[in-house]
Amino acid sequence: MTPAARLSAAIDVLADIEARRRPATDALKDWGLSHRFAGSGDRAAIAGLVYDALRRKASAAHLLGEPTPRAVVLGMLALDRGLDLEKIEKLFDGGRFAPSPLTQGERTALARTGLEDAPAHVAGDYPEWLDLPLARVFGDDRVEEGRALAHRAPLDLRVNTLAGDRDAAAAALSHLKPAFTRWAPAGLRVTIGAEQKSPPVHAEPAYIKGQIEIQDEGSQVAALLAGARPGDQVIDLCAGGGGKTLALAAAMENKGQLYATDLDMRRLAPIHARLERAGVRDVQVRTPRPGVDALADLAERADLVVVDAPCTGTGTWRRNPDAKWRMRPGSLSERVAQQVTVLDRAAGLVRPGGRVVYVTCSLLADENTDQIQAFVTRHPGFSPVRPADLVTPLGAAAAAFLDSVLTFPEGLLMTPRRTGTDGFFVSVLTREG
Protein backbone atom coordinates (compact mmCIF):
# COMPACT_ATOMS: atom_id res chain seq x y z
CA MET A 1 0.00 0.00 0.00
CA THR A 2 1.13 3.54 -0.69
CA PRO A 3 1.41 6.05 2.16
CA ALA A 4 -1.67 7.81 0.78
CA ALA A 5 -3.66 4.55 0.73
CA ARG A 6 -2.70 3.91 4.33
CA LEU A 7 -4.07 7.33 5.24
CA SER A 8 -7.38 6.50 3.53
CA ALA A 9 -7.53 3.26 5.50
CA ALA A 10 -6.81 5.07 8.79
CA ILE A 11 -9.64 7.53 8.08
CA ASP A 12 -11.99 4.60 7.42
CA VAL A 13 -11.00 2.90 10.68
CA LEU A 14 -11.51 6.11 12.66
CA ALA A 15 -14.93 6.51 11.08
CA ASP A 16 -15.81 2.96 12.14
CA ILE A 17 -14.66 3.64 15.72
CA GLU A 18 -16.81 6.77 15.85
CA ALA A 19 -19.89 5.28 14.20
CA ARG A 20 -19.96 2.07 16.21
CA ARG A 21 -18.42 3.44 19.44
CA ARG A 22 -16.00 0.56 19.67
CA PRO A 23 -12.39 0.12 20.83
CA ALA A 24 -9.69 0.86 18.26
CA THR A 25 -8.29 -2.68 18.55
CA ASP A 26 -11.61 -4.15 17.40
CA ALA A 27 -11.95 -1.77 14.47
CA LEU A 28 -8.38 -2.40 13.33
CA LYS A 29 -8.85 -6.15 13.59
CA ASP A 30 -12.00 -6.03 11.47
CA TRP A 31 -10.29 -3.85 8.89
CA GLY A 32 -7.43 -6.33 8.62
CA LEU A 33 -9.81 -9.28 8.18
CA SER A 34 -11.66 -7.52 5.38
CA HIS A 35 -8.46 -6.34 3.66
CA ARG A 36 -6.32 -9.44 3.66
CA PHE A 37 -4.15 -8.11 0.85
CA ALA A 38 -2.58 -5.67 3.34
CA GLY A 39 0.75 -6.89 4.64
CA SER A 40 1.90 -6.75 8.24
CA GLY A 41 3.82 -3.56 7.55
CA ASP A 42 0.71 -1.91 6.14
CA ARG A 43 -1.41 -2.98 9.09
CA ALA A 44 1.19 -1.72 11.56
CA ALA A 45 1.46 1.62 9.76
CA ILE A 46 -2.32 2.06 9.67
CA ALA A 47 -2.56 1.22 13.37
CA GLY A 48 0.13 3.79 14.06
CA LEU A 49 -1.80 6.45 12.17
CA VAL A 50 -5.04 5.58 13.97
CA TYR A 51 -3.49 5.64 17.43
CA ASP A 52 -1.54 8.84 16.75
CA ALA A 53 -4.76 10.47 15.53
CA LEU A 54 -6.56 9.38 18.69
CA ARG A 55 -3.75 10.75 20.84
CA ARG A 56 -4.17 14.19 19.24
CA LYS A 57 -7.92 13.98 18.59
CA ALA A 58 -8.95 17.18 20.39
CA SER A 59 -6.12 19.45 19.21
CA ALA A 60 -6.25 18.09 15.65
CA ALA A 61 -10.00 18.70 15.40
CA HIS A 62 -9.53 22.20 16.84
CA LEU A 63 -6.87 23.01 14.26
CA LEU A 64 -9.10 21.95 11.35
CA GLY A 65 -12.28 23.37 12.86
CA GLU A 66 -14.25 20.11 12.80
CA PRO A 67 -14.05 16.69 14.53
CA THR A 68 -14.39 14.43 11.47
CA PRO A 69 -11.99 11.48 11.05
CA ARG A 70 -10.44 13.16 8.01
CA ALA A 71 -9.89 16.40 9.94
CA VAL A 72 -8.35 14.55 12.88
CA VAL A 73 -5.91 12.73 10.59
CA LEU A 74 -4.97 15.98 8.85
CA GLY A 75 -4.42 17.76 12.14
CA MET A 76 -2.37 14.87 13.50
CA LEU A 77 -0.06 14.91 10.47
CA ALA A 78 0.66 18.59 11.13
CA LEU A 79 0.77 18.61 14.92
CA ASP A 80 2.26 15.20 15.70
CA ARG A 81 4.20 14.13 12.63
CA GLY A 82 5.35 17.63 11.72
CA LEU A 83 4.38 17.51 8.04
CA ASP A 84 4.07 20.86 6.29
CA LEU A 85 1.26 21.83 3.94
CA GLU A 86 3.19 20.83 0.81
CA LYS A 87 3.87 17.31 2.07
CA ILE A 88 0.28 16.81 3.21
CA GLU A 89 -1.03 17.98 -0.17
CA LYS A 90 1.07 15.34 -1.93
CA LEU A 91 -0.58 12.65 0.19
CA PHE A 92 -4.10 14.03 -0.22
CA ASP A 93 -3.98 14.26 -4.02
CA GLY A 94 -7.16 12.40 -4.92
CA GLY A 95 -5.27 9.69 -6.77
CA ARG A 96 -6.14 6.01 -6.72
CA PHE A 97 -6.79 4.90 -3.11
CA ALA A 98 -5.63 8.32 -1.85
CA PRO A 99 -7.81 10.74 0.14
CA SER A 100 -9.50 13.47 -1.84
CA PRO A 101 -7.59 16.73 -2.40
CA LEU A 102 -7.50 19.38 0.31
CA THR A 103 -10.19 22.03 0.33
CA GLN A 104 -9.25 25.68 0.57
CA GLY A 105 -10.49 25.69 4.17
CA GLU A 106 -8.23 22.76 5.03
CA ARG A 107 -5.25 24.49 3.42
CA THR A 108 -5.92 27.63 5.43
CA ALA A 109 -6.22 25.67 8.67
CA LEU A 110 -3.05 23.68 8.05
CA ALA A 111 -1.09 26.83 7.28
CA ARG A 112 -1.36 27.73 10.97
CA THR A 113 -0.17 25.03 13.35
CA GLY A 114 -0.42 26.93 16.62
CA LEU A 115 -2.89 26.15 19.39
CA GLU A 116 -2.61 29.45 21.24
CA ASP A 117 -6.35 30.02 21.20
CA ALA A 118 -7.25 26.50 22.34
CA PRO A 119 -8.68 25.87 25.83
CA ALA A 120 -6.56 23.76 28.15
CA HIS A 121 -8.37 20.47 27.57
CA VAL A 122 -8.00 20.86 23.80
CA ALA A 123 -4.34 21.89 23.86
CA GLY A 124 -3.64 19.03 26.29
CA ASP A 125 -5.77 16.50 24.38
CA TYR A 126 -7.92 15.19 27.20
CA PRO A 127 -11.69 15.15 27.91
CA GLU A 128 -13.13 18.48 29.03
CA TRP A 129 -14.70 17.03 32.18
CA LEU A 130 -11.22 16.06 33.42
CA ASP A 131 -9.86 19.61 33.23
CA LEU A 132 -10.63 20.48 36.86
CA PRO A 133 -9.37 17.14 38.29
CA LEU A 134 -6.12 17.52 36.34
CA ALA A 135 -5.81 21.19 37.31
CA ARG A 136 -6.11 20.13 40.93
CA VAL A 137 -2.98 17.97 40.55
CA PHE A 138 -0.91 19.89 37.99
CA GLY A 139 -2.27 23.46 37.98
CA ASP A 140 -1.15 25.38 34.88
CA ASP A 141 1.16 22.50 33.93
CA ARG A 142 -1.80 20.29 33.00
CA VAL A 143 -1.53 21.20 29.31
CA GLU A 144 2.10 20.12 29.11
CA GLU A 145 1.34 16.99 31.10
CA GLY A 146 -1.49 16.20 28.69
CA ARG A 147 0.72 16.77 25.67
CA ALA A 148 3.31 14.37 27.05
CA LEU A 149 0.55 11.78 27.40
CA ALA A 150 -0.36 12.37 23.74
CA HIS A 151 2.98 11.12 22.41
CA ARG A 152 3.79 7.55 21.50
CA ALA A 153 5.32 5.50 24.31
CA PRO A 154 8.59 3.59 23.96
CA LEU A 155 8.87 -0.15 24.46
CA ASP A 156 10.28 -0.89 27.92
CA LEU A 157 11.64 -4.25 28.99
CA ARG A 158 12.58 -5.56 32.42
CA VAL A 159 15.56 -7.86 32.63
CA ASN A 160 14.83 -10.87 34.83
CA THR A 161 17.72 -10.82 37.29
CA LEU A 162 16.92 -14.40 38.26
CA ALA A 163 18.06 -15.43 34.78
CA GLY A 164 20.83 -12.98 33.90
CA ASP A 165 21.96 -9.36 33.96
CA ARG A 166 21.17 -6.25 31.97
CA ASP A 167 24.41 -6.17 29.98
CA ALA A 168 23.87 -9.71 28.71
CA ALA A 169 20.23 -9.03 27.83
CA ALA A 170 21.17 -5.83 26.00
CA ALA A 171 23.75 -7.76 23.98
CA ALA A 172 21.20 -10.43 23.08
CA LEU A 173 18.82 -7.68 21.88
CA SER A 174 21.45 -5.50 20.21
CA HIS A 175 19.55 -5.58 16.90
CA LEU A 176 16.77 -3.61 18.65
CA LYS A 177 19.27 -0.97 19.80
CA PRO A 178 18.07 -0.93 23.43
CA ALA A 179 19.21 1.76 25.85
CA PHE A 180 19.45 1.45 29.61
CA THR A 181 16.48 3.00 31.39
CA ARG A 182 17.20 6.06 33.51
CA TRP A 183 15.62 4.97 36.78
CA ALA A 184 15.04 1.20 36.79
CA PRO A 185 18.34 -0.68 37.20
CA ALA A 186 17.07 -3.73 35.31
CA GLY A 187 15.29 -1.86 32.51
CA LEU A 188 15.92 -1.57 28.78
CA ARG A 189 14.19 0.87 26.45
CA VAL A 190 13.55 0.45 22.73
CA THR A 191 12.42 3.58 20.88
CA ILE A 192 9.94 3.00 18.05
CA GLY A 193 9.63 5.55 15.26
CA ALA A 194 6.33 6.74 13.80
CA GLU A 195 6.65 4.47 10.76
CA GLN A 196 8.21 1.52 12.57
CA LYS A 197 6.54 -1.73 13.57
CA SER A 198 6.69 -2.74 17.20
CA PRO A 199 9.25 -5.55 17.35
CA PRO A 200 7.92 -9.07 18.02
CA VAL A 201 9.47 -9.33 21.48
CA HIS A 202 7.55 -12.53 22.31
CA ALA A 203 9.49 -14.30 19.57
CA GLU A 204 12.90 -13.20 20.85
CA PRO A 205 15.04 -16.01 22.33
CA ALA A 206 15.71 -13.79 25.35
CA TYR A 207 11.97 -13.60 26.01
CA ILE A 208 11.33 -17.29 25.43
CA LYS A 209 14.14 -18.14 27.88
CA GLY A 210 12.64 -15.86 30.54
CA GLN A 211 15.45 -13.30 30.45
CA ILE A 212 13.16 -10.33 29.73
CA GLU A 213 9.59 -9.21 30.29
CA ILE A 214 7.65 -6.32 28.73
CA GLN A 215 7.06 -3.77 31.49
CA ASP A 216 6.97 0.02 31.51
CA GLU A 217 9.81 1.58 33.46
CA GLY A 218 7.32 3.27 35.79
CA SER A 219 5.84 -0.09 36.70
CA GLN A 220 9.34 -1.44 37.32
CA VAL A 221 10.11 1.49 39.62
CA ALA A 222 6.83 1.03 41.50
CA ALA A 223 7.76 -2.60 42.18
CA LEU A 224 11.21 -1.54 43.40
CA LEU A 225 9.77 1.09 45.74
CA ALA A 226 7.70 -1.63 47.38
CA GLY A 227 10.95 -2.75 48.97
CA ALA A 228 10.39 -6.53 48.86
CA ARG A 229 13.35 -8.35 50.41
CA PRO A 230 14.63 -11.92 50.31
CA GLY A 231 12.88 -13.96 53.00
CA ASP A 232 9.80 -11.71 53.19
CA GLN A 233 6.20 -12.89 53.26
CA VAL A 234 4.60 -10.85 50.47
CA ILE A 235 1.07 -10.69 49.07
CA ASP A 236 0.37 -9.29 45.61
CA LEU A 237 -3.31 -8.56 46.09
CA CYS A 238 -4.19 -7.46 42.53
CA ALA A 239 -1.70 -9.61 40.63
CA GLY A 240 -3.55 -9.80 37.32
CA GLY A 241 -1.28 -11.25 34.64
CA GLY A 242 1.70 -11.13 36.99
CA GLY A 243 3.87 -8.25 35.79
CA LYS A 244 4.62 -6.85 39.25
CA THR A 245 4.55 -10.35 40.77
CA LEU A 246 7.53 -11.28 38.61
CA ALA A 247 9.36 -8.08 39.52
CA LEU A 248 8.73 -8.66 43.24
CA ALA A 249 9.95 -12.26 42.95
CA ALA A 250 13.18 -11.07 41.33
CA ALA A 251 13.73 -8.55 44.14
CA MET A 252 13.21 -11.39 46.64
CA GLU A 253 15.77 -13.57 44.81
CA ASN A 254 13.41 -16.57 45.02
CA LYS A 255 13.71 -16.50 48.82
CA GLY A 256 10.68 -16.15 51.07
CA GLN A 257 7.06 -16.56 50.02
CA LEU A 258 5.02 -14.53 47.58
CA TYR A 259 1.26 -15.02 47.30
CA ALA A 260 -0.41 -13.80 44.12
CA THR A 261 -4.16 -13.39 43.81
CA ASP A 262 -6.80 -11.26 42.14
CA LEU A 263 -10.53 -10.81 42.57
CA ASP A 264 -10.98 -11.70 38.89
CA MET A 265 -9.68 -15.22 38.29
CA ARG A 266 -9.64 -14.63 34.52
CA ARG A 267 -6.95 -11.98 34.92
CA LEU A 268 -4.72 -14.53 36.63
CA ALA A 269 -4.76 -16.90 33.65
CA PRO A 270 -1.40 -15.81 32.10
CA ILE A 271 0.52 -15.81 35.37
CA HIS A 272 1.31 -19.53 35.54
CA ALA A 273 3.18 -19.70 32.23
CA ARG A 274 5.01 -16.44 32.99
CA LEU A 275 6.21 -17.71 36.37
CA GLU A 276 7.49 -20.92 34.83
CA ARG A 277 9.28 -19.14 32.00
CA ALA A 278 10.94 -16.72 34.45
CA GLY A 279 12.18 -19.48 36.76
CA VAL A 280 10.24 -18.15 39.75
CA ARG A 281 9.91 -20.68 42.58
CA ASP A 282 8.63 -18.69 45.58
CA VAL A 283 5.12 -17.82 44.35
CA GLN A 284 1.83 -19.40 45.36
CA VAL A 285 -1.05 -18.41 43.10
CA ARG A 286 -4.26 -18.21 45.13
CA THR A 287 -7.16 -18.42 42.65
CA PRO A 288 -10.39 -16.92 44.06
CA ARG A 289 -13.46 -19.12 44.48
CA PRO A 290 -17.05 -17.99 45.12
CA GLY A 291 -17.73 -17.64 48.83
CA VAL A 292 -14.16 -18.55 49.80
CA ASP A 293 -11.50 -16.14 51.06
CA ALA A 294 -8.34 -17.30 49.29
CA LEU A 295 -6.17 -15.48 51.85
CA ALA A 296 -8.03 -16.29 55.07
CA ASP A 297 -5.00 -18.09 56.52
CA LEU A 298 -2.74 -15.07 55.97
CA ALA A 299 -4.48 -12.52 58.20
CA GLU A 300 -1.90 -10.19 59.82
CA ARG A 301 0.99 -12.37 58.60
CA ALA A 302 2.40 -10.46 55.64
CA ASP A 303 5.51 -8.32 55.82
CA LEU A 304 4.34 -6.56 52.68
CA VAL A 305 1.02 -6.31 50.85
CA VAL A 306 1.15 -4.79 47.37
CA VAL A 307 -2.07 -3.25 46.05
CA ASP A 308 -1.70 -2.60 42.32
CA ALA A 309 -5.17 -1.14 42.40
CA PRO A 310 -7.81 -1.15 39.67
CA CYS A 311 -7.95 2.41 38.34
CA THR A 312 -8.98 4.62 35.44
CA GLY A 313 -5.60 4.19 33.73
CA THR A 314 -5.20 7.90 33.01
CA GLY A 315 -1.44 7.48 33.34
CA THR A 316 -1.34 5.00 30.45
CA TRP A 317 -3.08 7.09 27.77
CA ARG A 318 0.07 6.98 25.63
CA ARG A 319 -0.47 3.25 25.14
CA ASN A 320 -4.27 3.21 25.07
CA PRO A 321 -5.30 6.57 23.61
CA ASP A 322 -8.87 5.70 22.70
CA ALA A 323 -9.56 4.88 26.37
CA LYS A 324 -9.33 8.53 27.38
CA TRP A 325 -12.14 9.50 25.02
CA ARG A 326 -14.34 6.63 26.23
CA MET A 327 -13.78 7.41 29.92
CA ARG A 328 -16.83 8.73 31.80
CA PRO A 329 -17.27 10.17 35.34
CA GLY A 330 -19.11 7.03 36.38
CA SER A 331 -16.04 4.89 35.71
CA LEU A 332 -14.02 7.04 38.10
CA SER A 333 -16.59 6.57 40.88
CA GLU A 334 -16.62 2.84 40.27
CA ARG A 335 -12.84 2.56 40.48
CA VAL A 336 -12.68 4.64 43.65
CA ALA A 337 -15.13 2.28 45.35
CA GLN A 338 -13.10 -0.75 44.26
CA GLN A 339 -9.92 0.83 45.62
CA VAL A 340 -11.52 1.34 49.04
CA THR A 341 -12.47 -2.33 49.17
CA VAL A 342 -9.06 -3.65 48.23
CA LEU A 343 -7.18 -1.25 50.54
CA ASP A 344 -9.32 -2.29 53.49
CA ARG A 345 -8.64 -5.91 52.66
CA ALA A 346 -4.90 -5.22 52.59
CA ALA A 347 -5.05 -3.63 56.04
CA GLY A 348 -6.19 -6.92 57.56
CA LEU A 349 -3.40 -8.94 55.93
CA VAL A 350 -0.30 -7.01 56.98
CA ARG A 351 1.42 -7.75 60.28
CA PRO A 352 2.23 -5.07 62.88
CA GLY A 353 5.38 -3.35 61.62
CA GLY A 354 4.66 -4.39 58.04
CA ARG A 355 3.82 -2.31 54.98
CA VAL A 356 1.01 -1.79 52.51
CA VAL A 357 2.15 -0.45 49.13
CA TYR A 358 -0.58 1.23 47.09
CA VAL A 359 0.03 1.72 43.36
CA THR A 360 -2.17 3.13 40.62
CA CYS A 361 -1.54 4.05 36.99
CA SER A 362 -3.73 7.10 37.50
CA LEU A 363 -2.99 10.82 37.65
CA LEU A 364 -6.13 11.77 39.56
CA ALA A 365 -6.15 12.80 43.23
CA ASP A 366 -9.46 10.97 43.73
CA GLU A 367 -7.64 7.68 43.17
CA ASN A 368 -4.33 8.65 44.76
CA THR A 369 -3.80 11.14 47.58
CA ASP A 370 -7.51 11.23 48.48
CA GLN A 371 -7.57 7.46 48.83
CA ILE A 372 -4.57 7.45 51.13
CA GLN A 373 -5.99 10.23 53.31
CA ALA A 374 -9.27 8.34 53.63
CA PHE A 375 -7.48 5.05 54.33
CA VAL A 376 -5.43 6.54 57.17
CA THR A 377 -8.62 7.99 58.63
CA ARG A 378 -10.27 4.56 58.57
CA HIS A 379 -7.10 2.81 59.78
CA PRO A 380 -5.24 5.18 62.11
CA GLY A 381 -2.57 2.56 62.84
CA PHE A 382 -1.06 3.21 59.38
CA SER A 383 1.05 6.15 58.27
CA PRO A 384 2.58 7.01 54.85
CA VAL A 385 6.35 6.96 54.32
CA ARG A 386 7.88 10.28 53.27
CA PRO A 387 8.81 10.37 49.56
CA ALA A 388 12.43 11.15 50.47
CA ASP A 389 12.62 7.83 52.33
CA LEU A 390 10.50 6.01 49.78
CA VAL A 391 13.00 6.36 46.90
CA THR A 392 16.05 4.76 48.58
CA PRO A 393 15.70 1.45 46.64
CA LEU A 394 16.72 3.38 43.49
CA GLY A 395 20.25 3.84 44.82
CA ALA A 396 22.34 6.37 42.90
CA ALA A 397 19.32 7.48 40.86
CA ALA A 398 17.22 8.25 43.95
CA ALA A 399 18.04 11.96 44.30
CA ALA A 400 17.44 12.81 40.64
CA PHE A 401 14.25 10.75 40.65
CA LEU A 402 12.96 12.60 43.71
CA ASP A 403 13.63 15.91 41.95
CA SER A 404 11.68 14.74 38.91
CA VAL A 405 8.48 13.36 40.45
CA LEU A 406 5.61 15.20 42.05
CA THR A 407 5.68 14.58 45.78
CA PHE A 408 2.88 14.68 48.35
CA PRO A 409 2.73 13.74 52.04
CA GLU A 410 0.88 10.61 50.89
CA GLY A 411 3.32 9.45 48.18
CA LEU A 412 4.77 10.35 44.79
CA LEU A 413 3.59 10.61 41.21
CA MET A 414 5.49 9.74 38.03
CA THR A 415 4.35 11.12 34.67
CA PRO A 416 5.60 10.92 31.07
CA ARG A 417 6.56 14.60 31.18
CA ARG A 418 8.48 14.37 34.44
CA THR A 419 10.03 10.89 34.43
CA GLY A 420 9.60 9.62 30.87
CA THR A 421 7.48 6.76 32.18
CA ASP A 422 3.78 6.02 32.23
CA GLY A 423 1.92 7.81 35.00
CA PHE A 424 2.15 5.97 38.34
CA PHE A 425 1.29 6.94 41.88
CA VAL A 426 3.06 5.07 44.70
CA SER A 427 2.35 5.25 48.42
CA VAL A 428 3.97 3.10 51.11
CA LEU A 429 2.06 2.83 54.38
CA THR A 430 3.62 1.34 57.49
CA ARG A 431 1.56 -0.31 60.20
CA GLU A 432 2.65 0.55 63.71
CA GLY A 433 4.22 -2.36 65.57
311 part of the active site: no
CA distance 154 to 162: 24
Instruction: Using the Cα atoms of residue 193, residue 197, residue 422 and residue 234 in order, give the sign of their dihedral.
Output: negative
* From 361, 363, 426, 428, active-site residue: 361
Q: Which residues contact 407 (CB under 8 A, 6 or more apart)?
A: 387, 413
Please check whether residue 420 is in contact with residue 408, taking contact to mean a CB–CB distance below 8 angstroms.
Answer: no
C-alpha distance across the termini of the chain, in Å: 66
Chain-centre distance of CA 155, in angstroms?
A: 11
**Do the annotations mark residue 262 as ligand-binding?**
yes
**What is the torsion angle, in degrees rounded to the nearest 10, for the CA atoms of residue 192, residue 79, residue 218 and residue 274?**
-40
CA distance 375 to 427: 11
**Do the annotations mark residue 167 as ligand-binding?**
no
Binding residues for S-adenosyl-L-methionine: 262, 308
Catalytic residues: 361
Binding site as annotated, residues:
262, 308
